[in-house]
Amino acid sequence: MKNYIPDIYQKDIKTINYNKLKKRKIKCLIFDLDNTITNYYNNNIDKDIISLFDSLKKDFKVIILSNSTKKRVSKIANKLKVQYIPLAMKPLAFNFKRIMKRYHLSNDALAIIGDQIMTDIKGGNKVKIVTILVDPIDDKELSITKINRLIENHKLKTLSRKNILKRGNYYG
């Protein structure tokens, strides 16, 4: 169960306290794409998200790590002018390790931000980086994600019953 619990839980990527992460010596922010930065069917990015990323890039290495296709991920990453890894196969660890190698950083300097416990949080906890859960932007999702959500809802029920993690009870 421990692998499913995020260190931080916030409503969305705009409500995360990035200053706190900076103080915690986080150097690299790994972002999930679909339902974290934008809807999975949307190729447009709001201006406020573009300016958020512009300011984050001043303080952190920023990279998108997504299980989506290169075609999809590159479109958004190019708009935000950040690096990206598509077809990431989260929660598998190898792409997290690849990022550590690429930026010469150890696990305690990285944070993953994503909307899925089964991929983003589990993957991040496996490699012992800071894990940040956000609420999904909306409920329109790919079929693979729908399957993950069924398992996730089951985990969330258990975590909620134990008062560890409840939807809407943000922390960190």
Give the interface with Mg ion as residue ranges (CB under 5 A): 32, 34-36, 115
Q: How far apart are CB 123 and Mg ion at their closest, in Å? A: 11
- C-beta closer to Mg ion: residue 59 or 170: 170
- C-beta closer to Mg ion: residue 10 or 36: 36
- C-beta closer to Mg ion: residue 109 or 115: 115
Encode 95-111: b = buried (16+ Cβ within 10 Å), e = exposed: bbeebbeeeebeeebbb
Q: How far apart are CB 34 and Mg ion at their closest, in Å? A: 4
- C-beta closer to Mg ion: residue 26 or 136: 136
Q: How far apart are CB 114 and Mg ion at their closest, in Å? A: 5
Q: How far apart are CB 90 and Mg ion at their closest, in Å? A: 9
Q: CB-side exposure of 42: number of CA atoms within 13 Å?
A: 13
